[in-house]
């Protein structure tokens, strides 16, 4: 078994993250190149998808195609990160997506984590939430006291 340097693992994590984002933004066929033969999907509950049915490259490709089919527009953007843990072989980061359903914009934000081994994605976790289209994106520092936990003022 070949060992990889931290720099190599970091570069692999970044490459997989970028290709994963590109896959979700309209190139589902990339799943065949970046997803391991043994893959585990982790979704929030309740889910309309049987996680165990999305278990390899072709299944991930079908999952992405079906998911994207719900939208007229679905494009993912990365605001910061990702953050690569080379010891664990994990990449995580926030994202936001421009989406449109029935002609109406429906922005979504989320946080994804992918695990990788031998240059392929082995697991995927996601959390997402639709964002009120009227609100603008702000950081916690811009919110000032509004962002402070209850009882901390």
Residue 151 lies in a domain: no
Burial track 14-37 (b if 16+ CB lie within 10 A, e otherwise): eebbebbbebbbeebebbeebbbe
Rounded to two decimals, the pTM is 0.81
Count of other CB atoms within 10 angstroms of residue 39: 19
pLDDT digits (tens, 9 = 90+) for 35-86: 999 999 998 877 778 888 899 999 999 999 999 998 888 988 888 889 999 9
Residue 114 lies in a domain: yes
Residue 73 lies in a domain: yes
Q: What CATH number is associated with residue 68?
A: 3.10.450.50
CA distance 89 to 108: 27
| DSSP strand pairing (35-42 vs 108-117) | unpaired
Mean pLDDT value across residues 106-110: 89
Domain span including residue 25: 6-132
Please count the structural domains in the chain.
1
Q: Given this model, what pLDDT does residue 134 score?
A: 43
CA distance 60 to 66: 10
Chain centroid to Cα 5, Å, comes to 25
């Amino acid at each position: 078994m070949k060992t990889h340097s931290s720099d190599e693992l970091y570069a692999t994590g970044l490459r997989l993250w970028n290709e994963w984002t590109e896959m979700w933004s309209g190139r589902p066929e990339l799943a065949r190149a970046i997803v391991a033969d043994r893959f585990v999907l982790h979704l929030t509950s309740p889910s309309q998808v049987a996680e165990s049915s999305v278990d390899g490259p072709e299944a991930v490709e079908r999952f992405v195609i079906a998911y994207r089919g719900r939208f007229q527009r679905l494009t993912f953007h990365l605001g910061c990160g990702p953050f690569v843990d080379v010891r664990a072989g994990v990449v995580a980061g926030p994202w936001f997506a421009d989406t449109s359903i029935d002609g109406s914009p429906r922005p979504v934000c989320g946080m994804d984590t992918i695990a990788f081994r031998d240059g392929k994605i082995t697991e995927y976790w996601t959390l997402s939430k639709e964002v009120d289209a009227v609100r603008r994106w702000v950081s916690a520092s811009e919110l000032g006291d509004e962002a402070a936990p209850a009882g901390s003022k």
